[in-house]
Amino acid sequence: MKDKRESRFSLSEEENDYLNYEENKLELVACPIGGHNCTEHRLIINKHLLASRNYHVNKDYNRSIEALKIAYNKTTDLQEPTCLNCALMFRCLVTQSLESIHDDLQKMASGLLFRKRFKSSYQLAKVVLAEFKIAR
């Protein structure tokens, strides 16, 4: 006899793709200098983006935000003229991830049940987003 609850909790294919923790967010497609300047940077940024995604899924928002902050700060180390466009793209990707977390937290912080629980994480996301905007 099949358990009826089993089908209620299965993940869709999209969610399975989202939860693919081994996937690198940043991959080198084309670079005039072959990506020699940013190899280490991309590895570190990918590591922190994956960590942030894992923390986000596990509802550890403060650590997720901190991982994104580290990734963002690493993008500022790319100062070579040939790397500026890629660094800007990396910053945009990190900022979009943080904005997504911020929006989720805003919805949860304004709800009746979780108002206090996520308020500090929401405030942290707000402060870090402001720091990102100033850094631009």
User: In total, how many domains does the chain have?
Assistant: 1
Asked whether the CA dihedral 7, 8, 14, 19 is positive or negative, the reply is negative
pLDDT in tens, 80-100: 887 788 888 889 999 999 999
Cα 45 to Cα 74: distance, rounded to the nearest angstrom: 7
pLDDT at 20: 52
pLDDT in tens, 16-35: 444 455 566 666 566 666 66
5 within a domain of the structure (yes/no): no
Asked whether the CA dihedral 127, 129, 133, 136 is positive or negative, the reply is positive
Is there a contact between 68 and 97 (Cβ–Cβ < 8 Å)?
yes
pLDDT at 46: 87
12 within a domain of the structure (yes/no): no
Cα 16 to Cα 10: distance, rounded to the nearest angstrom: 10
pLDDT at 6: 43
pLDDT at 80: 82
Q: Tokens representing 20?
A: 């693919």
Cα 43 to Cα 46: distance, rounded to the nearest angstrom: 5
pLDDT at 132 over 80: yes
pLDDT at 2 over 60: no
* Domain ranges, residue 107: 36-135
Is there a contact between 119 and 109 (Cβ–Cβ < 8 Å)?
yes
60 within a domain of the structure (yes/no): yes
pLDDT at 11: 39
46 within a domain of the structure (yes/no): yes
